[in-house]
Structure 1
Amino acid sequence: MAQGGRLAGRVNDGNAKWWVLGASCFALFMAILDNLVVNVALPTISDDFSPTTTQLQWIVSAYTLVFAALQITAGGLGDRFGRKRFFLFGVALFTTTSALAALVQNTEWLIVARAVQGLGAAFIMPLSLSLISSVFPPEERGKALGIWSAVSVSGLAFGPIVGGAIVEYFAWQWIFLINVPIGIVAFLITSAVVKESRDESGQVATDIPGTVLVTGAIAALVWSLIEAGERGWGDSLIVGGLAVSAVLFAAFIWVEQHTEKPMVPLRFFKSSTFTGANLDSFAISFFISGIAFSMTLYWQNVHGYSAIRTGLTMLPMVITMMAFSPISGALVNRIGTRNLVTAGMLITGSAAFMYLRTSVGGTFLDVMPAMVVMGFGMALIFAPMTTAVLNSVESDKSGVASAVNGAVREMGFAFGVALLGTIMNQTYKSRFDGSSQVEGLRDPANAAFGPLQPAIDRVGEGINYAGRGIYNQEYFPGVPGDIADTLYAVSSAAFVDGMHRSFIITGVAIIGVAIGSFFLIKDSVAETPAKEPAVDVPAVTFGAAPGE
């Protein structure tokens, strides 16, 4: 308490906004870090819990799914009842659940813990932006959000590095325990220096039906995308899951159109800037999560890198992003959000094709140019993209607007792992099963290979068994060295083929979104709120929402 009093005593009208920025960013770093910190530990977690490929995807996606689905409601609650109050609730919940996640004994409970972590993060992310927007005027937001973006980007960038160091020198459980001291400090600083603020317009909604519908829609879609990797796109459960998602999204749009105080004011999407910036958010997060998921497995399973070495492969991208993110925030008022975002998206899209230099016999130097280019492109995107979102709505709606943007961003993370992981897995299984070497090993005429069929089938089950896993005698006892070498070569090549297909799809998508955002984003600031006759907004206006 004494420490909190000393901090509060240092806050005055001249520096209050900078204290708010610092407190918000401190908690934000913790929540963003957990988007990717787990990825580098997946192979180690696999050794302990033996999850399936789909369960590996869920360990990542459970966090981002809840994070995405509940941000809008969290932002609305904060705007209505107190931004500081609910920000602190998110910090406390995230910190407590992080401690519990370190104690789980199986994959299922780890997935549950990750989902509850996502709930805490759903309050931290949008309300950090909302707190900042409430104290910085529009002409200063670019600079403030440049710092916010640098912290956000560093959380993403340092996630694999921090995770790798922890797994290498401690135990994977510490990737969760590290959040505990960070969360405690964030809670104390926020309590001491941040003043309470809320939307006084009386127009804030806590739309329970809308929340339930959009959460169900996103969950059904992510489940279908992940499970399709095992079941196939034509499976009745996958088709049914996609249909349920479409119906729930349609119901959500209808409810929002006919609710007096909707969770998402649909008039936001009348702004081409708001729509374009959110499309960019989705696309770039989609790419980041897909790269993090695939490259972690590539370095460790195909090339045999340690966890810490895998994390350190991200350094070229980290250094580039950290160097240029603050600069891009400062350039917003000079160059404009549209030009910066479009240039960044085009550069990042080109990096996706540069990752095609990866191969079974490749080296780190083959991949480093792609990482540098990707880091530079992303550094140009985050600050102007966030500025565009907040400048496209009036300040008293910043909580909901930032929540929508955060939700879209996290949906991109969830869908990136779900869809790109599924594409990789399906391509992998197809290439592995179609290999002439594998067909030879499965030939019934070769009776000597009969006892090896369970091992061969297991390697072919999914990408988590690709590469050097065949040399693990605990999982594959008694496999002769020459057969193990063959399975390593075939599975590694199949993994790289699947990874390349995901890179091509992502690169095309990002460049397409870049072109679209150039025509959608405008360099202007919303000053006066428009009336909200929600029922007058045609459904087609909100058509982008499910894709966000």
Structure 2
Amino acid sequence: MLILSAALSGIGLSIMTVGYPALGEAFPGVSDPTLSWVTNIFTIVAAATLVIGGVLADRVGRRRMLMAGVGLFLAGSVLGGLAPSVGVLIGARAVMAAGGSAIHPAAVALLLASLPSNRLPLAVGIWAVAGGTSSAFGPPVGGLVIEWLGWEWMFWLNVPFCLIILIVVPAVFRESRSGESRALPDPLGGVMVAAATALVTLGIVQSDPWGWTDARVIGSIIGGLAVFGLFVQRSLHHPNPLVELRLFQIPNVRRSNLAMLIFASSWFGMFFGFTVIVIRSWGWTPLEGGFAVAPLPLFAGVLGVLIGRIAHRTGHRLFILPGTAIYVGTTIVLWLVLGDEPNAAVFITGMTVIGISTGMVFPSLMAASISDVSPDQHSLATGINFTAQRVATTIGVALGLTFVTSAASTSDAIDLLMGMVVVTALVSLPFSARIDTRPSGPQS
């Protein structure tokens, strides 16, 4: 039941890969840049609120926070299902994201508190697999409900699951709180993360109608970077920052999070961009498109546990570098082979290989980000990594959708998307190459 509650957020994000083209058909008068905010707002709000949600769960009670989060997610889903306009949809997605930020840390804490210590590794492994597989279910399930019932059911689908959780959890799980009262993280820091990400995203998504050299685009991107710089300064000096950036003094923490920020931007740009191509340009149905891209998140989750156990003994770089090389090499092959006409065999094979390579990279980067951190700071290090992932998701989706929807032809869209994917993945390599988590390796 706890895993089901946490899966809501994963499905809620990934289902929009097939939902985006359907929303474009449902609201034909709405531009692609405006429509992209239905997706972008989810990750922006998540990046700004998840750490705060975790602390609130420790203070007010994990079960109470989980119930509040599921209630918010339910309210956002109902609002989305009834939405008469894209503006209301954007608001609904923001509510769902806030609910997800309450659900995830509370569910993890309740799960760990309900099990004996000897079963914790298995529980964490199952949790990791559930996260990846729930994201993989989003596109095909979304495609199915869109084809049979309409886009509104991407939201109505959540309602019965939320109601089941609200009924069962209070009857099965006892309330749980942290033994010590944690101070609330800097709320202004959350606002600054959201504002910085939103400004950079605004500049990217408006680059097509306004032009990359337009003062508004340049000003938005520079303004976002400036706000992010202020956030860094504030976090370094605040007694209880949103993310503990002082941990960046630890080399593996710094390198793995920077690599995650860049590599995840590449991956999410591909995930969303290719889904739009196969549905809009190649004419595949939402269900066909959903199954075609599902291997990308599926293997990342399934392989995570296995690779995590091996990498703990061998060092994570052993998987990160070959995984990135396979990812880039396969992307280049797709770049050279795919074009205006669909090629299902090549595409699905490519998605499978890239999914496997992603399963080597993502879990290893996440594990490396806490490898040199003391156990009492694991939650702080995890907060940094999650924030990096969500910011990367927003930027990657914005770039991928902008390049794909603004291209003159399918071939041009593939050229722009694949170029972005390859370049960003290669930029992550200098950081990945210096990660050293081998038990006997140097830690300088």
Q: What TM-score comes out, normalization by structure 2 length?
A: 0.88
Paired residue for 2:411, among 496, 501, 507? 496
Q: Which residue pairs with 1:354 in the alignment? A: 333
1:97 matched to 2:76: yes
Instruction: Provide the C-alpha distance between the structure 1 equivalents of 2:225 and 2:233, rounded to a whole number of angstroms.
Output: 12
Paired residue for 2:204, among 221, 225, 238? 225
Q: Which residue pairs with 2:65 in the alignment? A: 86
**Residue 127 to residue 405, structure 1, CA distance change in 2 (3 Å):** farther
Is the Cα contact below 8 Å between 1:225 and 1:419 reproduced in 2? yes
Paired residue for 1:244, among 185, 210, 223? 223
**Residue 351 to residue 296, structure 1, CA distance change in 2 (3 Å):** same
Q: Which residue pairs with 1:335 in the alignment? A: 314
> Which stretch shifts more, 394-403 or 173-182?
394-403
Superposed CA deviations along residues 130-168 of structure 1, whole A, max 9, x for unmatched, are: 556778899976654432221111122121111101111
Letter of the structure 2 residue corresponding to residue 168 of structure 1? E
**Residue 99 to residue 384, structure 1, CA distance change in 2 (3 Å):** same
Letter of the structure 1 residue corresponding to residue 400 of structure 2? L
Q: Which residue pairs with 1:26 in the alignment? A: 4
Letter of the structure 1 residue corresponding to residue 393 of structure 2? F
Instruction: Provide the C-alpha distance between the structure 1 equivalents of 2:163 and 2:427, rounded to a whole number of angstroms.
Output: 43
Instruction: Provide the C-alpha distance between the structure 2 equivalents of 1:52 and 1:115, rounded to a whole number of angstroms.
Output: 20
Letter of the structure 2 residue corresponding to residue 26 of structure 1? L
Is the Cα contact below 8 Å between 1:273 and 1:521 reproduced in 2? yes
Is the Cα contact below 8 Å between 2:275 and 2:293 reproduced in 1? no
**Residue 136 to residue 233, structure 1, CA distance change in 2 (3 Å):** farther
Instruction: Provide the C-alpha distance between the structure 1 equivalents of 2:245 and 2:368, rounded to a whole number of angstroms.
Output: 17
Paired residue for 1:401, among 368, 381, 386? 381
Pairs within 5 Å for 1:24-173: 25-50=3-28, 51-129=30-108, 143-173=122-152
Instruction: Provide the C-alpha distance between the structure 2 equivalents of 1:173 and 1:226, rounded to a whole number of angstroms.
Output: 24
Letter of the structure 2 residue corresponding to residue 370 of structure 1? G
Paired residue for 2:284, among 305, 310, 315? 305
1:314 matched to 2:286: no
> Which stretch shifts more, 337-346 or 131-140?
131-140
In terms of Rg, which structure is larger?
1
**Residue 162 to residue 285, structure 1, CA distance change in 2 (3 Å):** farther
Superposed CA deviations along residues 83-115 of structure 1, whole A, max 9, x for unmatched, are: 443333222211221121100011111111112
Instruction: Provide the C-alpha distance between the structure 1 equivalents of 2:376 and 2:58, rounded to a whole number of angstroms.
Output: 8
Is the Cα contact below 8 Å between 2:75 and 2:95 reproduced in 1? no
Letter of the structure 1 residue corresponding to residue 418 of structure 2? F
**Residue 278 to residue 194, structure 1, CA distance change in 2 (3 Å):** farther
SS of residue matched to 1:393: coil
Letter of the structure 2 residue corresponding to residue 389 of structure 1? S
**Residue 372 to residue 360, structure 1, CA distance change in 2 (3 Å):** same
Paired residue for 2:360, among 380, 385, 397? 380
Superposed CA deviations along residues 53-82 of structure 1, whole A, max 9, x for unmatched, are: 102211211111111222232233334444
Is the Cα contact below 8 Å between 1:351 and 1:373 reproduced in 2? yes
Give the deviation of 1:307 after TM superposition: 1.5
Q: Which segments of 5 or more consecutive residues in structure 1 lack a partner in the other structure?
A: 1-21, 433-493, 526-548
Paired residue for 2:251, among 261, 267, 272? 272
SS of residue matched to 1:381: helix
1:196 matched to 2:111: no
Is the Cα contact below 8 Å between 2:67 and 2:166 reproduced in 1? yes
Give the deviation of 1:391 after TM superposition: 4.1
Instruction: Provide the C-alpha distance between the structure 2 equivalents of 1:389 and 1:75, rounded to a whole number of angstroms.
Output: 19
Q: Which residue pairs with 2:369 in the alignment? A: 389
> Which stretch shifts more, 268-277 or 152-161?
268-277
Instruction: Provide the C-alpha distance between the structure 2 equivalents of 1:409 and 1:499, rounded to a whole number of angstroms.
Output: 24
Is the Cα contact below 8 Å between 2:57 and 2:106 reproduced in 1? yes
Q: Which segments of 5 or more consecutive residues in structure 2 lack a partner in the other structure?
A: none
Q: Which residue pairs with 2:343 in the alignment? A: 363
> Which stretch shifts more, 206-215 or 316-325?
316-325
Instruction: Provide the C-alpha distance between the structure 2 equivalents of 1:242 and 1:209, rounded to a whole number of angstroms.
Output: 20
Is the Cα contact below 8 Å between 1:352 and 1:504 reproduced in 2? no
Paired residue for 1:519, among 416, 420, 434? 434
**Residue 249 to residue 316, structure 1, CA distance change in 2 (3 Å):** closer
Is the Cα contact below 8 Å between 2:135 and 2:298 reproduced in 1? no
Give the deviation of 1:177 after TM superposition: 1.1
Q: Which residue pairs with 2:424 in the alignment? A: 509
Letter of the structure 1 residue corresponding to residue 373 of structure 2? V
Paired residue for 2:157, among 171, 178, 181? 178
> Which stretch shifts more, 147-156 or 386-395?
386-395
Is the Cα contact below 8 Å between 1:69 and 1:218 reproduced in 2? no
Q: Which residue pairs with 1:11 in the alignment? A: none
Q: What TM-score comes out, normalization by structure 1 length?
A: 0.73
> Which stretch shifts more, 30-39 or 386-395?
386-395
SS of residue matched to 1:102: helix
SS of residue matched to 1:313: helix
Letter of the structure 1 residue corresponding to residue 431 of structure 2? G
SS of residue matched to 2:308: helix
**Residue 262 to residue 274, structure 1, CA distance change in 2 (3 Å):** same
Is the Cα contact below 8 Å between 2:245 and 2:384 reproduced in 1? no
Paired residue for 2:271, among 292, 296, 302? 292
Is the Cα contact below 8 Å between 2:46 and 2:98 reproduced in 1? yes
Instruction: Provide the C-alpha distance between the structure 2 equivalents of 1:510 and 1:346, rounded to a whole number of angstroms.
Output: 9
Instruction: Provide the C-alpha distance between the structure 1 equivalents of 2:47 and 2:86, rounded to a whole number of angstroms.
Output: 22
Instruction: Provide the C-alpha distance between the structure 1 equivalents of 2:385 and 2:11, rounded to a whole number of angstroms.
Output: 18
